[in-house]
A and B are shown apart, each in its own frame.
Chain A
Amino acid sequence: GNSVTQMEGPVTLSEEAFLTINCTYTATGYPSLFWYVQYPGEGLQLLLKATKADDKGSNKGFEATYRKETTSFHLEKGSVQVSDSAVYFCALMNQAGTALIFGKGTTLSVSS
C-alpha cells in the first residue's frame, strides 16, 4: 500500500543553518508528492509540490526534488529562520487521486 516515511524529529537548528528533512515513499506508480507545513495552533498549509519524476518544487526558499530512483522527496532550505519553526509533513496522493497520505511529521525548531 501507499506510505510515507519521514525522518524522526525534533530537528533543532540555529538561525541561518542548512536544513534537510528526509522523506521516502512507497507507492504504486508515480504519485504526486507534497510538503505541507503546520505552524503552532494552525492548520496545514501547502508548501510545495512535484507531480512527476525529476520535478523540483520550490517556495519561500524551500526546495524538494522528486527522485523516482530513490523514491525520495527530501526537503531542503539553505538558511533557516526562527519563523520556519513548525511541523513539516511529507505527503503523496494515492493512485486513485482521492486522498493525501501523510508522513508522521517532523518538528523543526530554529533558535536565534
Chain B
Amino acid sequence: DTAVSQTPKYLVTQMGNDKSIKCEQNLGHDTMYWYKQDSKKFLKIMFSYNNKELIINETVPNRFSPKSPDKAHLNLHINSLELGDSAVYFCASSQERLGGYTFGSGTRLTVV
C-alpha cells in the first residue's frame, strides 16, 4: 500500500484555470505538508496542517488554498493558475516533531 499518495501525477492546464491536487496518507500521521519544488530542484514549504488545523502558511499567493477534510487528507486548490505556478508539488506527512517526513511521489503541474 502506498503510504502517501497524490493525484494526479501529471497536470497540464491553461493559464487562468482552477485546479486541485489531492493527497492522502494511510500512516496515521497527525501532520501533513505541501512543498513546492521548482525547476532547479529547490524545495520550499507552503503549508502545514496538524490534525486538520493550519500550522504553517508561508508566503504563498492567496490563490493557493489548502483544505484538510480529515487528518488523513490534505488537498491543494489553486485558482487562476499562472505560468510561474509550474513546478512539482509534493505532499508529505509526519508523526513526531523531530522525525522524518514521508513524501508522496509528486504532482508535476505545467501551466501553458
Instruction: Jot down 20 A-B pairs with beta carbons below 8 A, ordered by A.
Output: A32-B98, A34-B100, A41-B105, A42-B105, A43-B4, A43-B90, A44-B90, A44-B101, A44-B103, A45-B103, A49-B100, A51-B98, A93-B97, A97-B98, A98-B55, A99-B45, A102-B43, A104-B40, A105-B41, A105-B43
Interface residues on A, range: 20 to 34
Known: A46-B101, A97-B98. A89 touches B43 (CB 8 A): yes
Q: Which residue of B lies closest to A99 (CB)?
A: B45
- Are the CB atoms of A104 and B45 closer together than 8 Å? no
- Are the CB atoms of A98 and B56 closer together than 8 Å? yes
Question: Is A75 part of the contact surface with B, judged by Cβ < 8 Å?
Answer: no
- Are the CB atoms of B100 and A43 closer together than 8 Å? no
**Cα distance, A49 to B22, chains bound together (Å):** 29
Which DSSP category, helix, strand, loop or mixed, fits chain B's interface? strand
**Minimal beta-carbon separation of A21 from chain B (angstroms):** 14
Which A residues are within 8 Å of any B CB, using their own CB? 32, 34, 36, 38, 41-46, 49, 51, 87, 89, 93, 97-102, 104-105, 107
- Are the CB atoms of A100 and B41 closer together than 8 Å? no
Contact of A100 among B101, B105, B106 (CB under 8 A): B101
**Cα distance, A32 to B104, chains bound together (Å):** 22
**Cα distance, A105 to B55, chains bound together (Å):** 26
Q: Which residue of B lies closest to A51 (CB)?
A: B98
- Are the CB atoms of A43 and B98 closer together than 8 Å? no
Contact of A99 among B42, B56, B102, B106 (CB under 8 A): B56
> Assuming A32-B98, A100-B45, A105-B41, what are 16 further A-B pairs, CB within 8 angstroms?
A36-B103, A41-B105, A43-B4, A43-B92, A43-B105, A46-B102, A49-B100, A89-B43, A97-B97, A98-B56, A99-B45, A99-B48, A101-B45, A102-B43, A102-B44, A107-B41
